[in-house]
Every structure is written in structure tokens, then in C-alpha cells.
Amino acid sequence: MTAPFADVPRLHAIAGWDVPRVRRAVAGLAGTVEPLLTWRVRLEGVGRALESGDCWSGPAARSAVAALAEVSAVSSAIGRALEASLSAYETLVAEAARAQDLAEETLAWTGLLQGMPGIEPPPAADVALRHAALVARAAEEADEALTGLGVRDASAPADFGDLLTHVPLMELVQVPRVPSGQTPVEAADWWAGLTSAQQRALISMSPAVVGGLDGVPAWARDRANRLLLDRALRDPRTSPASARTAGVVVRRIRAEEAAGHHVQLQLLDLAGDRVALALGDLDTADDVAVLVPGVGNTPADDLGRLVSSARRVSAATRAAAPGETVATLVWLGYDPPDNLFSGALRLAAWDGAPALAGSLAGLAAARTATATGDARTTVVAHSYGTVVVDEAADMPGRLAADAVVLLGSPGMEADAASLEAPEVFNAMSPADPIVWYRIGRHGVPATAFYGSTALPVAAAMGHSDYFDPEFPTVGAVGEVVAGRRRPD
């Protein structure tokens, strides 16, 4: 306890703080930090475009790429410093508000207790002073966060060149350590905090890690996985099976790009025979469809056919919403059952469910961390792929999908609400033999009783015809992906 009334002047000073004004200033600083990240992401996108040489090449282009790398490094350093300073200021405001409330309470009591011998201020006085000390420390931390950029007292770097001298040169090329055991959200935040030079260095030195890390943007995973693809094709130690898959993937990419399509290799795990290939830009598309195939599909044998299905879904989505951009991802990120007999079990779905849930969470987290805007994400699952989605929804956390489409499902557990998506649709052709096979195997049929909304089918459609443009289902799927078809 302090001496009686000895700290009244200090308490009066605390009570006179203009906390609302500081809070408004902190809100203004917070409003600066997020746009800076958006600006840096766009700037780095320009740098990647220049680096590719597709739009500009030569000495001037290389100079521009180097300059953009410097700007990215500086903006990254500024962003980290402002975030640290903002965190300290947010602590300052919270502690100042507590200190002020306690100071005012103490002063109200002292007005009543003045002149009463042996009476000391209430304990709130000491608590108020402790919070005031935390305010002072937070102010120091807020200042310290900016000193590395040359901001001291009332002085600051005069121009970009001056600011660049305060950013450690090694930061432009230093390769950071990749943290392990991160969630997709944590991985996305970590990646967004790196400079473009650090990101490129990681892609070059650790392509297997970057290419398989959920939460890393699709452009970076694509670059990393293409490096892995090239190395596998050049390495004489690559197994025949892996070499065959790699050859199929590279030929499919070349064919799609020759046709003018934007392609991203989201996943390449040749040892596990897992591939995810996207048509469109997963980082910026308004609408994203994730196609999850079923029994008997492998990258080596079926990638071309599955990409054709993805292309049809893209076309149907653009037809439903001509002004929106679309990306469709063929997701063979699990090992589907080889045949209907093994497809009667859920073992492959149990194994694949964490990967699908993580992939969806990673797509969403990468968009959030880089401030590129949320996409409408639809999982389009066919056959046994619907079972994988069923199990993925049981993973910890909410399934990161706005809609789920079930095509020719062999049965689902519980009801549509268990998929955790706001919208659930289904298509079941009466000529699909899996419709007959389904009941009593994996669960209830995906009908109105299940709680999903039926999409149109044709009586002649077989199990492999849901993406056939001659039938009505794929057009309806495009409407779902675009958000133009609402559930019942």
C-alpha cells in the first residue's frame, strides 16, 4: 500500500488521460496495416508476372524484378514492425482504460476520506498505478518496434533509399526455417509474413515442404511442385510408376497451357500417388470447385478424363455467372479404393478425410492471410468421393466449404447437416447402378430424406455421366458453384 494520499496527483494525471483519442489513433493504425498487406501481395504478383518473362523480358525487366524485390522486402519489414507496434498499442489502450477507471474510483473515495486520520486510499490506487506502469511499458514496446526502421523520437527515414538502409540486407536472401506441426491457418500467416525473396528461396530449397503445405498460396505450391516434377523426370532413380505419373502430369499441364488455360499443380506426391491439379487461379478466383473422384481413379490413368470433367464444370459455372472467375481443382489427394469390393469399406475415406479437410482449410486460410478475398468454395464429390467428404466433415473444425454436391453417392451417414456446409445438393440417376448398390452399405441415400436438394438428371444417365454436357446435371452443378442455384 502506498503512503496515504501520496499518489493523488499521479491518479489525477491518469484520470485525465484522453483514452478515447488514443483508441481512435490505434484504430487508424490498424486500418493501415491490413491494406499494406493487400498492396504487398498485389505488388509481389506483379513481380512474379515479370519474373516469368511472359509479358516483358530483357535487362530492364530484370531490373524491375530486382526493384520490386527490394520494395517487397521493405514493405514486409514495415508490415511486421507496424503489426508489433499495433499489438503494443492495443495493450496500451486496454491497460490505460483499466488504469483510468481505477484512478477515478480511487479519487472518488479520496474525496470522502480526506481529513480522516489513519484512513488510506482503497487498494484500487495501487492497482491503478500498476496498470499505469504497464501502459508506460507498452508505449516503450510500441516505439521499439519501429526503431529498427529508423524511426526515433520525431524523426523517420526521409525516403525509400533511406528506409532501405534500415532493412537488413540478409533479409532479402535469408532462408527462414519452416515451422513444423502448423495448422493451415498458422502456415498461411507464417508464409504471408515472409518477403518475396524469402518465399522464392524456400520454394527453391524446400520444394517438397512448400508444395505440400496446406495454407501456402497456390502460386507458390505450383512453383514448388513443378520443381519436384522436373527433378523426378530427370532423376534416373525415380521408380517406373512414379515416372509414369510424372509424365502424365507434365503432358497434361503442357496440353492445358497450350490451349490457353491457367494451370496450378497444387499437390504432387509421387511416392503416395497423389496429385491435385487446378484449372484457373485458386488464389484469386471468385468461385472454386474441388472435384473429389471415387473408386478406381489414379493420376496416371485418369487425370486427363478428370481434368476434362473439371473443364466442363468451369464452363458451366461461367455460363451461370459470366462475370465471375472460376478455378476447378481435380483433387486426387487420397488413395481411392481399387474396386467396388474395397469401395464397400470406409478405410480409404478414413485415410483421405484429414487430407481433404486440410486442403479445403488451406485454400481458405491462404486467401485470408494474403487478403485476396474469400472465394465461394464448392466440393463436387462423385461416387466414393462423397464418402471421403462425409468423413472429412467429421474432422476437427468446420468443413471449409460453402456448398457440397454429391453425385452418384453410395450412401451417407447421418444427414446433410452433418456435412457442415450451408448448402448440400445431390444427383442420383435411376440408371446408375451405384444407386442400387448404395443402400445399406455406407448409409442412407442422398435424397430429400437425407436433407439435400436434388439436381436434375436424365433417365439414361449412367454412373459416369454426371459431368457429360449432353445431360442436365453438369449445368446445374455449375449453377451451384456460381451460387446461382439455391437449396430447397
Q: How many CB atoms neighbour CB 69 within 10 A?
A: 19
pTM, to two decimals: 0.73
Q: Are residues 128 and 12 in the same domain?
A: yes
Q: How many CB atoms neighbour CB 72 within 10 A?
A: 23
- The amino acid at 466: Y
Q: Are residues 121 and 252 in the same domain?
A: no
Q: Are residues 333 and 463 in the same domain?
A: yes
pLDDT at 376: 98
Q: Are residues 363 and 458 in the same domain?
A: yes
Q: How many CB atoms neighbour CB 119 within 10 A?
A: 14
Show the domain range for 81.
8-171
pLDDT at 1: 39
Q: Are residues 285 and 421 in the same domain?
A: yes
Domain final residue pick, 171, 202, 228: 171
Q: Are residues 265 and 361 in the same domain?
A: yes
Domain final residue pick, 117, 151, 171: 171
Q: What is the CATH number of the domain that holds 274?
A: 3.40.50.1820
Residue 186 lies in a domain: no
What is d(CA 358, CA 187) in angstroms, rounded to the nearest whole number? 11
90-98 mean pLDDT? 88
Average pLDDT value over all residues in the chain? 85
Q: Are residues 292 and 421 in the same domain?
A: yes
Residue 213 lies in a domain: no
Q: What is the CATH number of the domain that holds 139?
A: 1.20.1260
Q: Are residues 140 and 251 in the same domain?
A: no
What is d(CA 363, CA 331) in angstroms, rounded to the nearest whole number? 12
How many separate domains does the chain show? 2
What is d(CA 36, CA 42) in angstroms, rounded to the nearest whole number? 10
Q: Are residues 139 and 258 in the same domain?
A: no
Residue 287 lies in a domain: yes
Residue 211 lies in a domain: no
Over the stretch 257-309, which tens digit does the pLDDT of each residue have? 999 999 999 999 999 999 999 999 999 999 999 999 999 999 999 999 999 99
Residue 189 lies in a domain: no
Residue 429 lies in a domain: yes
Degrees to nearest 5, angle at CA 378 with 376 and 379: 155
Domain final residue pick, 146, 171, 196: 171
pLDDT band at 440 (very low <50, low <70, confident <90, very high): very low
Cβ within 8 Å of residue 95, ≥6 positions away:
131, 132, 134, 135, 138
Q: Are residues 143 and 250 in the same domain?
A: no
Q: Are residues 269 and 153 in the same domain?
A: no
Q: Are residues 272 and 355 in the same domain?
A: yes
CA 472 to chain centroid: 33
Over the stretch 172-202, which tens digit does the pLDDT of each residue have? 445 667 777 889 999 999 998 887 778 887 8
Residue 375 lies in a domain: yes
- The amino acid at 43: L
pLDDT of 117 strictly over 70: no
The mean-pLDDT minimum among 1-10, 213-222, 237-246, 385-394 falls in 1-10
Residue 2 lies in a domain: no
